[in-house]
Amino acid sequence: MTAASRTRPRVAIVGAGPAGAFAAASLLRACGDVEIDLLERLPTPWGLLRGGVAPDHQEIKRLEDTFDRQTLKRGCRFLGNVEVGADISHAELMSHYGAVIYATGAQTDKSLGIPGEDLPGSWAATEFVAWYNGHPDFRDLEFDLSARRAVVIGNGNVAADVTRMLTLSAAELARTDVADHALQALRESSIEEVVVLGRRGPAQAAFTSAELRELGHLDGVDLRVDAADVELDGVSQQWLAQEGTFTARTNVELLREFGARPRRADAERRIVLRFLRSPRLIGGDGRVESIDVRRNEIVRADDGMLRARPVDDEDRETIDCGLVLRSVGYRAVPLPDVPFDERSFVLPNARGRVLGSDREPLPGVYAVGWIKRGPTGILGTNKRDAEETVTCFAEDLAAGKLAQPANADREQIDALLAERKPDIVTVAGWRAIARHELEAGRRERRPRVKLTSRAELLDVARRAAPVPAAAHS
């Protein structure tokens, strides 16, 4: 037996989002006697469950109760307001824990690379989402919602989310936990029409069917799809018949149904779904005034994938608009001193074991969630993914492959963090924040009223739960 297998293993999970939470729960199930610290750069846990999932989807947010029950209530420590790579290094973590599991997600957006992308009024959907969900780093953004038309680029579920947020009525928004600053701005919004652009066709849209269906059933919103736009081209027809997924078939049926609907002239707002259109440039004098799009056709590429190809380079349509939300995917950022695959934007890994430059596993370093496999997949996808990583960890532990860290005692990491981060947020601090938000929510008949500034969050956490050095649990 090695030293590591004789003592209770101590594991740091970096990032307390869904993947980190599923990994912690899975570790407790698989290994039982393991000490887990969840290190999180925000003062609050649960990553995109709090800061991504749309405020009008409160039923999904209940997953936080499960995370709480399966992790924090089972002894995992929450060490919030600690950014790994800034407040503590990878090497320091490795010297305090037997294993480090990275669960840092995808913290930025994928860019389009077209002219005008950076004009004021052109935003990444990642920014808009973080703003309306009260992420402290995005609360001061100012979205100009004074134009009549907005354009959303992309056909994924995030595009569906931001489209709904722009078209929900003020009364509907007021029943959610949308951040107060966003509630106020959206209440005063002049946007009447949201045009959603898919670069490929209806059969290739990345919406899940429930999210697409929902767009067609919003109160006071007319969903428009041109019937001709949902006529499938030959390549897509063949693909749908022979290889099409259940979701793709359902989406096409839904879109045909929407295309056949009569227009609702009385609706206050409109969503217009357009397909086979790619943005060429975002135009405007000092700020967004329009977007130029080109028409595509679907072709089967050499690798067998169905791709969008421009029909005619001269083909151009200009859509006037005052706001563009680019919803073409999230992207992970590298962590200092941790290997990073610059082409796939993930930690290079084999089933969750992070690989070094020699493509061999780095002992004791693992990845889970979006930083492991890229920014796709719903919440549940991270559960299976976490189980895979935890299986590797358990195998390595049993095989004696995890080194005993130089500073193995919990008091040592607590002393280091107490010195570096006197305003660390513990489980008690997070519970104080949650209590504060839920009580404010009860007063306003809302699920919660979020605290959105770091200073407020830290203040509530500190007042309710002063942190004596070396006593973080």
Ligand X SMILES: NC(=O)c1ccc[n+]([C@@H]2O[C@H](COP(=O)([O-])OP(=O)(O)OC[C@H]3O[C@@H](n4cnc5c(N)ncnc54)[C@H](OP(=O)(O)O)[C@@H]3O)[C@@H](O)[C@H]2O)c1
Q: Which residues bind ligand FAD (CB under 6 A)?
A: 14-20, 39-42, 47-48, 52-53, 57, 60, 83-85, 103-105, 107, 129, 158, 161, 330, 335, 369-370, 377-379, 381-382
Residue 181 CB neighbours (<10 A): 18
8 Å CB contact between 387 and 381: no
CA distances for 472 relative to 4, 40, 75, 456, angstroms: 24, 14, 12, 20
The residue within the footprint of ligand X, chosen from 165, 323, 328, 397 (CB under 6 A), is: 328
Binding-residue pattern over the window 198 to 217 for ligand X, x denoting contact by CB under 6 A: xxx---x-x-x--x------
Q: Which is nearer to ligand FAD, 107 or 236 (CB)?
A: 107
Tabulate helix, strand, coil % of the chain (nearest 5): 35, 20, 45
Residues 373-392 that bind ligand X (CB under 6 A): 375-378
Q: Which is nearer to ligand FAD, 87 or 320 (CB)?
A: 87
Give the CB-nearest residue to ligand X.
156
CA distance 34 to 10: 6
96 touches which of ligand FAD, ligand X, none (CB within 5 to 8 A by kind)? Answer: none
Distance in Å, CB of 99 to ligand X, minimum: 27
Q: Which is nearer to ligand FAD, 105 or 201 (CB)?
A: 105
Q: Residue 63: which of 327, 385, 382 has the closest Cα?
A: 382
280 touches which of ligand X, ligand FAD, none (CB within 5 to 8 A by kind)? Answer: none
What does the angle CA 86 – CA 89 – CA 90 come to, to the nearest 5 degrees? Answer: 130
For position 369 contacting ligand X by CB under 6 A, the verdict is no
Q: Which is nearer to ligand X, 87 or 341 (CB)?
A: 341
Q: Look at the block and give the residue holding tokens 């999970």.
A: 13
The residue within the footprint of ligand X, chosen from 330, 345, 393, 430 (CB under 6 A), is: 330
CA distance 113 to 454: 32
221 touches which of ligand X, ligand FAD, none (CB within 5 to 8 A by kind)? Answer: none
The residue within the footprint of ligand X, chosen from 81, 155, 296, 426 (CB under 6 A), is: 155
42 touches which of ligand X, ligand FAD, none (CB within 5 to 8 A by kind)? Answer: ligand FAD
Q: What is the DSSP letter of 190?
A: -
CA distance 231 to 429: 55
Stretch near ligand X under the rule CB under 6 A, chosen from 12-20, 136-144, 194-202, 403-411: 194-202
CA distance 441 to 134: 14
8 Å CB contact between 311 and 296: yes
Q: Which is nearer to ligand FAD, 60 or 227 (CB)?
A: 60
Residues 270-289 that bind ligand X (CB under 6 A): 278
Q: Which is nearer to ligand X, 198 or 322 (CB)?
A: 198
CA distances for 277 relative to 85, 202, 302, 319, 400, angstroms: 40, 11, 22, 11, 55
